[in-house]
Structure 1
Amino acid sequence: MKIQQLTINTRHFAEMKQFYTGKLGLPVAEEQSDNVTIQAGGSQLILQKAEAPGEKSMYHIAFTIPTNQLEAAKKWAAQRGITLFRDQDGDQFHFGNWNADALYFYDPDENLIEFIAHHSFDNAENEDFRSSQLLRISEIGLPVDEVAAAVEQIQTTLGLSMWSGDGRQFAAMGDAEGLLIVVDRERPWFPDGRAPIVSGTRVVIQAQGSEQLMLQADQYDIQSRDE
């Protein structure tokens, strides 16, 4: 499964645009007065001005980077003034069951942003890390009231399987290329421990069939397009 487009609301439109195009160096694909489409490898991130700027929102978004580039990405982020999240063990997080390593930081809206290197992919890059090595958006977090019910709807309507998780508090739906991270809204986000916030989003995925699924009181608009 691949995430083609992801639309998120932002309270700080100008700052978010500058962060993704300036600090992360991603190109603008299209721009209007109230939204900007940013190209992130094979995916597009659409920043939409929030209708109610004071309304609190928070997203978890992951970008895939080449399998061998995590250390280089850490240095690149530091050079651009991006502070990585750290716990008592450091700023790099290993997922043995996913065969992956990741780092985390925040954007101006305090969204939890992740760079993840999946070692099952044959995508090593020998050149210095640069923005073009953000290969695609690979994850979007979807906090819900009932994980099991959401999993069943995603399986039935979109044809996605559960790739990882217990299906009760956490379910990663799709595959390593693209995942809908369905979590119980009472389950803190890893690794920073913040409580999830249901924040409206539109996700367009590449999958078999053309379907639309509305989840969590229509806060999540998930659309699939034929491969």
Structure 2
Amino acid sequence: MKIQQLTINTRNFAEMKQFYDEKLGLPVAEEQPDRVTIQAGGSQLILQKAAAPGEQSMYHIAFTIPTNQLGAAKKWAAQRGIRLFRDQDGDQFHFKNWNADALYFYDPDENLIEFIAHHSFDNAEDEDFTSSQLLRISEIGLPVDDVGAAVERIQTTLGLSMWSGDGRQFAAMGDAEGLLIVVDRDRPWFPDGRAPMVSGARIVIQGQATEKLLLQADQYDIQSQHK
């Protein structure tokens, strides 16, 4: 599964545009007064100005980077003044069951942003790390009231399988290339422990079916296009 396009709301529109365009170095594909489209490799991130001033939102978004570039990505982030999240063991997080390593940081809206290197991918890169090595958006977090019910609807309507998780508190739907991270809204996010927040999002995926699915009182609009 591939995440082709992700639209999120932002309460700091100008700061968010500047962060993704200038600090992360991702090109602007399209710009309007209340929305901007950022090109992130094979995916687009659309920042939509919040309808109401101060409207709260919080997202978890992951970008895939080459399998061998996590160390280089850390240095690149430091050079750009991006402060990585750290716990008592450091700022790099290993996922044994996923065969992956990741680092985390926050954008101006305090969204939890992740760079993840999947070691099952044959995508090693010898060149210096740049924004061009943000290969695509590979995860979007979807906090819900009932994980089991959401999983069933995603499986039935979109044809996506559960790649990882227990299906009750956590379910990663799709595959390593693209995942809908369905979590119980009372389950803290890893690794920073913050409570998830239901925040409206529109997700366009390339998957197994051509269907539309609305979840969590229509907060999540998922459009699937058959590959």
TM-score by length of 1: 0.99
Output aligned runs, 1:135-214, within 5 Å.
135-214=135-214
Letter in 2 for 1:64: T
Q: CA deviation at 1:37?
A: 0.4
Write out per-residue CA displacement over residues 154-208 of structure 1, whole angstroms, 9 at most, x where no aligned residue: 0000000000000000000000000000000000000000000000000000012
Query: Distance in 2 between the 1:55 and 1:38 partners?
Result: 22
Residue 8 of structure 1 pairs with residue 8 of structure 2: yes
Q: Report if the CA contact (8 A) 2:201-2:220 is conserved.
A: yes
Q: Which residue of 1 aligns with 2:46?
A: 46
Distance 1:185 1:94 in 2: 24
Matches of 2:192 and 2:78 in 1, distance apart? 19
Unaligned runs of 5+ in 2: none
Alignment check: 8 A CA contact 2:210 2:225 kept: yes
Q: Which residue of 2 aligns with 1:134?
A: 134
Residue of structure 1 in register with 2:29 after alignment: 29
Q: Distance in 2 between matches of 1:146 and 1:44?
A: 28
For 2:91, what is the secondary structure of its paired residue?
coil
Distance in 1, matches of 2:53 and 2:38, equals: 21
Question: Counterpart in 1 of 2:92?
Answer: 92
Aligned match of 1:18 = 18
What's the % identity of the aligned pairs?
Answer: 88
> Offset at 1:209?
2.1
Q: 5+ residue gaps in structure 1?
A: none
More displaced stretch, 62-71 vs 200-209: 200-209
| Equivalent pairs, count | 227
- Report SS of the residue matched to 1:21: helix
Structure 1 runs (4+) deviating above 4 angstroms are none
CA distance in 2, matches of 1:146, 1:53: 30
